[in-house]
Structure 1
Amino acid sequence: MSEQPNVQLGAWQAVSLVAGREINTKLRSKAFIITTVATLVLLIGFSLVMKFVGGGSDATVGFTQQNAVLAAPLKAAASAIGENIDTKTVSDERAGRGQVVDGSLDALVVGDGRTVRVVVKKDLPDNLRNALNVLASQVALNQQITALGGDPAQVAQAVANAKVQVEPIEQPFPYDGQQLVLGIIAGILIYMSLLLNGQMVAQGVVEEKSSRVVELLLSTIRPWQLMAGKVLGIGLVGLVQMVVIGGLGIAAALAFDVLTISVTAAVGTVVWLVVWYLLGFLMYSLVFAGLGALVSRQEDVGGVISPALMFVVVGYVIGISVLPSDPDNAFVGILSIIPVFAPTLMPIRLAMGGVPVWEQVVSVGLVVALIPALVWLAGRIYANAVMRSGARVKLKDALRAV
């Protein structure tokens, strides 16, 4: 009986061969292509919608020549209550009424400007009513000031310059609404990538285990090399997807003027997105690979990895529900440093800005320090469980040396 040749591969050669196999398989898969293209279309479509919807005014108000002096005060009054109103001067009241009928104007201010009287097609929207009520109050006040011998312009200037003086004990960070949107998008991309690519690792382990392919592979390479190659290959595919989606998505938003933040800030968001994707994927995919080796059927994958997956879900939910309304939330700040929550929470905070340098360093350092421990732990589980088919392997049994 002749002996089979024992083919010995170097550690890196074995890992790179497995990684190359995973990369070729995933890049050619229809699911990867469709997911990437669909996400890009959604992001670019969102940018276009925000350009045409977000940049418009809330209402358009017409003025005749007699009361055109009220146009500027109306825009100022609307701005003070958070509304964006366009104004338009019409040739005469008759022409203005016609534009109200055809929908070109939401309202037409008529009269001589001593009172605020408007013509509408059916009803006056509440946001426009509020702005016009502020204008009416200002007109009435100006008339009283004039009657008492004062100058309405000087009074208006004094009122405009009168502001509350705030003395903060701690200087607040000026959060930008667009940075908040960027942070939420970054969190969503990280969350989706961890869910999809992380589970892909576990499913790949089970697929090879159930088809007995793993026995052929392990006759040539060691278990930890197979696991590391699978994680590396799928991770690189996810990285390509993340850079393409994040880079082109932000480029489209900047090109369409949906984002007006600096290019440096946008690039910084993409860089941190890549960093935290890599850290989060390495951390969670190692766990998923080890846990996936415990079962032999695809339908059991969800149950075995769900406890670890809950940390990803909880971090994401907390981030998008708390940070938009309370960017300085201390509890979220603490969670974002803890390794299991950092990949979904810290990218959102970093995109928003205002994260102390020490928190950035500690959060990255803790994850980096945890990864070698996970390599050892997941490798032990994987090596002791991947060759056992049939019933689910208990975690305590997989941790024991065979």
Structure 2
Amino acid sequence: MNNETLRHPWQLVAQREISTKIRDKTFLGSTAFMLILVMAAVVIPALLTGHGGADKIAVLDDAGAKVVQTADATKGGGAYEVTKVADQAGAERLVADGDVKAALLPGDNGYVVLGDDQVDTDLQNNLHEAVVNLGMEQNAARAGLTPQQLRANTEVQERLLNPGPLPQIVAGFVNIGLALVFYMTALGFGMMIAQSVVQEKESRVVEILAAAVPIRALLWGKVIGNTVLALSQIVVIAAASLIGLLATGQADILKVVAPVAGWFVVFFVLGFVALAGLWAVAGSLATRQEDLGSTTLPGQMILMIPFFFSVFAGSSAKTVASFVPIASSMAMPGRMLTEDVPVWQPLLAILILVLATVLIVRLGARLYERTLLQTGRRLGYREAITLKAS
């Protein structure tokens, strides 16, 4: 062991944590599970809101193409794409093969929307509205009226009392996704931290480590190593989300989500570091793997209650929770997606979280030093607080 290593012993512990975890099937499995959840949170809103690429509509002539283009403009653009075919048989073939969503064919008194086993109701309504509008314009022109005169006093506008930066359904899914990412990551890594501490105690490896490395360095190594791993997992998940948004035609959502994601990283790191110290203490209180059910229960409750608050609570409760340490890591980023939150609120929440994290980590370090080498029996938190430092 050289002098540089001795000056930073926590680095050895952190490197050991990282190298062990990246080969662990539980870690790899949890990462895969999180990727599936996040991709579902990206794709499902796209399906519900109609994103995911333009629906191709087969037409025979320019008149049919104009109907589809009008329907697309009504949807805001990018919803429908014209596919011209030579004859009705070609259109039927494309519909049957699934190459187009539907076909718009001339009928006896207008048009026929041709589908395979069914026609999407939203598509049918949009095409019908486009046909009606174009037909009225043509009839009005014959009567000497302009399209503007025809539509006079028929405009309907939308006004929201509390507009959000994203559509409600999308914001709701992203809100749940961010809270779930923090919850699952903190819980998964927390249990792994606690289990690794118990394994070291059961195998007596901890006594060898404590003889060579200060106990606080053992704690900091575990906290920093797992924080690096957790952030790496978040980066992978974020990259998958980016790919999912681009693939489903939701790139515009990135303009809103990207700034909030930066805030989320800050809240995540601070909340995770505080919890990591507590999870390590939960492992040091136990002497066997079976003890973790009771020693990790406080940590699980600290995560579970804020998670349900951030997802299911009302607006007032979420506002309060967004300033409560640990809970703010889940509640504040979600509020920033669904509400117009003044910048001073996340800054204040971060300040409170920093102070709480410092206090929690200092308390956790003291308890960890007092309980790590206690191998005779399982200790309780109250008993650990009363123990004297060895």
Please, what TM-score do these two structures have when normalized by structure 1?
0.74
Partner SS for 1:60: strand
Counterpart in the other structure of 1:358: 344
Greater mean alpha carbon deviation, residues 126-135 or residues 296-305: 126-135
Is it true that 1:108 corresponds to 2:104 in the alignment? yes
Counterpart pick for 1:236 among 225, 228, 234: 228
Counterpart in the other structure of 2:283: 292
> Which AA in structure 2 matches 1:21?
R
Counterpart in the other structure of 1:398: 384
Native 8 Å contact 1:280 1:343 kept in 2: yes
Counterpart in the other structure of 1:175: 166
Native 8 Å contact 1:107 1:119 kept in 2: yes
Counterpart pick for 1:154 among 148, 151, 171: 148
Counterpart in the other structure of 1:193: 185
Counterpart in the other structure of 1:276: 267
Question: How far is the alpha carbon of 1:27 from its aligned partner?
Answer: 4.2
Distance 1:124 1:262 in 2: 29
Question: How far is the alpha carbon of 1:279 from its aligned partner?
Answer: 0.7
Counterpart pick for 2:14 among 14, 19, 37: 19
Is it true that 1:128 corresponds to 2:119 in the alignment? no
Native 8 Å contact 1:197 1:238 kept in 2: yes
Partner SS for 2:200: helix
Change (3 A) 1:63 1:306: farther
Partner SS for 1:343: helix
Is it true that 1:202 corresponds to 2:194 in the alignment? yes
> Which AA in structure 2 matches 1:306?
L
Kindly, what percent of the aligned residue pairs are identical? 27
Counterpart pick for 1:383 among 346, 363, 369: 369
Greater mean alpha carbon deviation, residues 212-221 or residues 28-37: 28-37
> Which AA in structure 2 matches 1:375?
V
Change (3 A) 1:130 1:355: same
Partner SS for 2:57: strand
Counterpart in the other structure of 2:219: 227
Counterpart in the other structure of 2:206: 214
Partner SS for 2:296: helix
Question: How far is the alpha carbon of 1:150 from its aligned partner?
Answer: 5.2
Partner SS for 1:56: coil
Structure 1: gaps of 5 or more residues: 1-8
Native 8 Å contact 1:64 1:92 kept in 2: no
Native 8 Å contact 1:272 1:350 kept in 2: no
Which string of whole-angstrom CA distances, capped at 9 and with x for unpartnered residues, describes residues 319-349 of structure 1? 4557xxx9xx332222122113122223334
Counterpart in the other structure of 2:59: 62
Question: How far is the alpha carbon of 1:240 from its aligned partner?
Answer: 3.4
Question: How far is the alpha carbon of 1:87 from its aligned partner?
Answer: 3.9
Counterpart in the other structure of 1:306: 297
Native 8 Å contact 2:201 2:375 kept in 1: yes
> Which AA in structure 2 matches 1:108?
L
Distance 2:132 2:43 in 1: 39
Native 8 Å contact 2:310 2:321 kept in 1: no
Counterpart in the other structure of 1:374: 360
Structure 2: gaps of 5 or more residues: none
Native 8 Å contact 2:60 2:84 kept in 1: yes
> Which AA in structure 1 matches 2:13?
V
Change (3 A) 1:110 1:101: farther
Native 8 Å contact 2:164 2:338 kept in 1: no
Change (3 A) 1:131 1:309: same
Is it true that 1:335 corresponds to 2:321 in the alignment? yes
Change (3 A) 1:208 1:30: same
Native 8 Å contact 1:291 1:381 kept in 2: no
Distance 1:24 1:98 in 2: 56
Larger Rg: 1
Distance 1:68 1:245 in 2: 41
Change (3 A) 1:257 1:222: same
Native 8 Å contact 1:384 1:400 kept in 2: no
Change (3 A) 1:11 1:360: farther
Native 8 Å contact 1:23 1:237 kept in 2: yes
